[in-house]
Chains A and B, each alone.
Chain A
Amino acid sequence: GESVGLHLPTLSVQEGDNSIINCAYSNSASDYFIWYKQESGKGPQFIIDIRSNMDKRQGQRVTVLLNKTVKHLSLQIAATQPGDSAVYFCAENAGGTSYGKLTFGQGTILTVHP
């Protein structure tokens, strides 16, 4: 079946560095992509989303890049802080009748050292 996956299961950075978390997807019908942050004992927290008609979207300290040619998604976090330490999931949605039926990757553990 088609799925979303992550290249790196863990990422360790120093406080103040920029972080990049990558994600590969295989469902060419996906038209909506989301990044979630999940801290221990909590539910996934929405960070940023992007639709397939865009290749870049910026938020506060975060940027999502979408490369449809190679089916790749990335999340960039600027000036990473210890509070950014969490598991990060990318998720895709094929839209249409499957709205809300997100397919999540396995997650990347981000650890930020002070």
Chain B
Amino acid sequence: GAGVSQSPRYKVAKRGQDVALRCDPISGHVSLFWYQQALGQGPEFLTYFQNEAQLDKSGLPSDRFFAERPEGSVSTLKIQRTQQEDSAVYLCASSRQRGSPLHFGNGTRLTVT
């Protein structure tokens, strides 16, 4: 009955490294979202999945960002060739169905040095 689970909780990467962030949504939740939260700011939308289909990726800041959800449950957000400006908390959220509230995980704090 756990909530949205994200791993790792913290990730430090050297500039130029690739990183992969994992999200386990609440069981049975069809919709999955990724958000980016900079320090002192509200979360900003990155991308949205309905089952395995990525329906909206308009918020991804560059082509270095890639998200997938191949079997319609676990999702991975990958960032290639990380830059310092990628440092933020990456939040995953899920919802049972369209129109239901989004439930967020505790995020992965990414620091790029």
* Stretch from B66-74, B80-88, B96-104 forming part of the interface with A: B96-104
Of B41, B91, B102, the residue contacting A100 (CB under 8 A) is B102
Q: Tell me if B95 is interfacial: C-beta within 8 Å of chain A.
A: yes
Q: Tell me if A10 is interfacial: C-beta within 8 Å of chain B.
A: no
Q: Tell me if B65 is interfacial: C-beta within 8 Å of chain A.
A: no
- Asked if residues A102 and B106 are in contact (CB atoms below 8 Å), the reply is no
Contacts of B43 in A (CB 8 A): 44, 89, 102, 104
B59 to chain A: closest residue by CB: A101
How many A-B Cβ pairs are below 8 Å? 59
Question: Interface size (A, Cβ < 8 Å)?
Answer: 22
Q: Tell me if B4 is interfacial: C-beta within 8 Å of chain A.
A: yes
Q: Tell me if A114 is interfacial: C-beta within 8 Å of chain B.
A: no
Contacts of A89 in B (CB 8 A): 42-43
Contacts of A76 in B (CB 8 A): none
Contacts of A41 in B (CB 8 A): 106
- Asked if residues B106 and A42 are in contact (CB atoms below 8 Å), the reply is yes
Known pairs A42-B106, A43-B106, A98-B56; A34 contacts B41 (CB<8 A): no
Known pairs A98-B56, A100-B95, A102-B102; A91 contacts B107 (CB<8 A): no
Contacts of A91 in B (CB 8 A): 42
Q: Which A-B residue pairs are the 7 nearest by beta carbons?
A: A104-B42, A43-B104, A43-B106, A44-B104, A101-B45, A46-B101, A100-B48
